[in-house]
Amino acid sequence: MKFKKTTLPNGLRVILAPMTETGTVTVLVMTGVGSRFESRRENGIAHFLEHMMFKGTEKRPTALDITRELDSIGADYNAFTGKEYTGYYAKVEAHHFDTALDVVSDMFLNAKLDQEEIDRERGTILQEINMYEDMPMRKVGDDWEALLYGDTPLGWDIAGPKENIRAFRRSDFVRYMRRGYVSGNVVVGIAGNINPKAAGKAVAERFGVIAQGIRPEFKRASDGQSGPELSVRKKKTDQTHFLLGVRTFDMYHPDRYALAVLSVILGGGMSSRLFMEVRERRGLAYMVRTEVEAFHDAGFLATQCGVEHENLEKAILVILDEYRKIATEGVDEDELRKAKEYLKGKMAMGLEGSDDVAEYLVSQEVLRNEIVLPKEKVRMISRVTADDVLRVAQDIFRNDRLNLAIVGPQDAKKKAKLEKMLDLKIGDR
């Protein structure tokens, strides 16, 4: 992977990644603020603002003007809001690069934020929130993070509460953008079949006018815990959905590669321990997976599953047992090798397109202020040993890190029983 990073005089960073073997170009603009940079009154504004960026500029006065221009060149375009970033992108045929850059930069820099459009978009956002409420497989993830991080921005829902959505005014969006949509907090990435010199000049011409500033501070996560914790959202569902897991490491921790290997061994594929035990051998679930997430100052490993209501306890006990086994018995060399090759293979396949490369490079620069090349990640994954996996497992699988979030028709009696079940039985160290 070849790329060049430059910094404009105003502090905006530009990453150019020429890919002569592809016929596409992706333009990605990302700012290093998401929902965790909001106050309680602002909660939901980062996501709402993402919607408003598509509602018109002086040059393209309406949403239709923006979407019609991108649709007319067959662009793949969208935006996304996370807890620590917000991104806007368009992927096009290489000869449409100028149009893609012009539209994306215009949206990002010149959104009108008309109050009439804000009022109209409230209904769309409220329906999006309602949609997620009806998706227990997704909602349980929000409940999980709320359980871990409590009443802090990292524990709040990205979409925000409905009362905030109904209350936002244009001045709220302008204030938020002045704080986070500034030169020192924004990265522009161009990946694909480009002339790097011409592309760099085009980016500088458009983004040289961005407001100057630096990344704002965020409130640190609440990470204190003394014993297992449980969250139950009572809801009529066809399945009970749950996340069971533990607090782990932030994105800078030296054991993050060993943790990734551990996660794959547990639930990273159809031959993983939990897929075999929960689905194949017991038929308790269709979907079971284990994943890790890392923020600037916190992280977690969690296994997600959807089961028949009466099978909830069985599934939880199986997962706890596999956590216990890997923390006491470790892993064999064949499992270790397979997990490391799995990670390397997924990374290689995830970097085939210009959009993949743009997101890989830009997100690292936004979140970490540095870019670790794939070959370096491969090297670090290759260095993970069975002893590393065992050490990390013993570190994280403790009762004072254990958490369970559930969405389903569970009553108070079942909740009390589940609380007693939450015990890894390997002692707290």
Catalytically active residues, by annotation: 50
Question: How far is 234 from 414, CA to CA, in rounded Å?
Answer: 11
Q: Shortest CA distance to 395 belongs to which of 292, 326, 340?
A: 326
DSSP-derived letter for residue 54 is T
Please report, as a single letter, which amino acid is at residue 65: D
d(CA 241, CA 289): 12
CB 361 within 8 A of CB 189: yes
In residues, how long is the chain?
A: 429
Joined together, the tokens standing for residue 392 give: 């990390």
Strand partners, 396: none
Phi, psi of 191 (to 5 degrees): -130, 140
Q: What is the C-alpha to C-alpha distance for residues 412 and 416, in angstroms, rounded to an integer?
A: 6
Q: What's the token pair of residue 402?
A: 């254990």
| Residue 65 parent element (H or E) | helix 63-71
Whole-angstrom distance, CA of residue 13 vs CA of residue 298: 26
Rounded CA separation 186/29 (Å) = 7
User: Which structure tokens are listed for 322?
Assistant: 């596999």
- Answer for the pair 303, 288: CB distance below 8 angstroms, yes or no: yes
Burial class (CB in 10 A: 0-12, 13-18, 19+), 300: buried
